[in-house]
Chains A and B, each alone.
Chain A
């Protein structure tokens, strides 16, 4: 064999295309059912009293099952955010903003999109969501019991 080494194939493409059905369980099932009704449901730890959204079946800090359910308001404060200028295969069309929102009455943060911002200048995005920015959930007209039933948040 006298093939030049440079002609050896170096890689070969492998492809995965698999669907999965993830069981939501009682806690996230109830949360998703709430979203269909335009309700943001949270639950509380009976020991430390923290309020979780998305809700949790147990408290990771206290190691006890969560109990009481509460409906939160649909407004909150942006605690941190990023504007994605690049996405990935199968991801949203950039640019888009993703924020960690502290809903009023919640002790955890809810991650979600924030729309209605002017993202034309990469150097000016901080002014679009200054510290303490208030946002409100905007509902998708067609709700299927999934996190994107909240289409996105918008600045108030």
Chain B
């Protein structure tokens, strides 16, 4: 077993639409970095590494993150690792930083999630350029068209209705209404979700995430690196990533998230998770499209196949439920690209530290699950089991 890595501080900015955002990407990222260092009570000169990401083409730049970090006023000697794994970049930032710490090479690595969906005039057109070239890119698919294949196959198998899928959108919005850092904070009814503009069947606009601007940052440390930090550290107990074939047509079954289920088995085995529903106190999954959430909860072992919507309807995933899910409102209510993908790790860490926004804080949360997914047809998955580590 390598030495353990911990989360020792987190910073997150408020979120807005691009239209209302008057800060530059550099200014937003700077704010998140200051907040994380202040939360951790760590000085900038105590850092010995930075991990930052971007998604080429989404920002009108290539390797924009590399240039962005130089402007932050941190040490010019800091080694910088730039990640570019599409929509999974955010979750991978935390995992790469944690591996650098576990390897013994670094003590305090700051990972930075920038606002990647910042400027594209038509984000779906930018996302289409990330579609498998030559054989699938010419077929008129942006991200939500790809995302629609899953609920469509699920409907075919289980007879699920649009009203059923709306349940998870209603819950995410109810949660976001309590989170002052969320972008969309309006409550919705089933009727609102069903009646909103059809985008790609069976999904309506209310089932699809907004384009948000926000930034966040996480401080990842060794045990020694967390001795003088302020919040109760969070142990990264287990983590992993997994990939499906690149082509959408390489999926074996759109009605079940097999790649995520395989990853969950692997990560749960590392962490000693045998009964996820009983063991986890708080969960954040990356479901930018509402119908993904019940399917992810099934793949993660919180519900049997075909019963994810029932689980949400039962109230078990609300703040007072057995296993609260996406109390932040999730990416359905705030999605800023790389920052949106790092957000599940940020919110779960804050929950376990006891430092989440008061109206979404789960009392006494000790064990949490943070998930991310992205890439063409969501071929990449990442997962981390996080645990509160009380100081002795």
Contact = CB atoms under 8 A, between A and B. Distances in A.
Interface in B134-151: 134-136, 138-142, 145, 148-150
B250 to A, nearest CB: 6
Interface stretch (B30-38, B181-189, B196-204, B321-329): B196-204
A20 to B, nearest CB: 8
Given A28-B135, A122-B201, A14 B60 contact: yes
Nearest to B141: A98
B254 A82 contact: no
Contact of A54 (B128, B249, B254): B249
Contacts of A28: 134-135
Given A89-B122, A91-B125, A125-B201, A79 B254 contact: yes
Interface string B119-163: 101101100100001111011111001001110110110000000
B142 A80 contact: no
B207 to A, nearest CB: 12
Given A16-B60, A28-B135, A80 B149 contact: yes
Contacts, number: 117
B245 interface: yes
A108 B250 contact: yes
Contacts of B133: 22
Interface string B33-67: 00000000000000000000000010010000000
B228 to A, nearest CB: 40
The SS class assigned to the A binding surface is loop
A82 B200 contact: yes
Given A83-B201, A86-B198, A87-B140, 17 more contacts: A8-B22, A10-B22, A22-B133, A60-B245, A79-B153, A82-B148, A82-B149, A91-B125, A98-B139, A98-B140, A98-B141, A98-B145, A100-B149, A109-B248, A111-B136, A131-B156, A147-B135
Interface of A: 8, 10-11, 13-14, 16, 22, 24, 28, 53-54, 60, 79-92, 96, 98, 100, 108-113, 122, 125-126, 131, 146-148
17 contacts: A10-B22, A54-B135, A54-B247, A79-B153, A79-B254, A80-B149, A80-B153, A83-B201, A86-B124, A87-B124, A88-B125, A88-B128, A90-B125, A111-B141, A111-B248, A126-B155, A131-B156
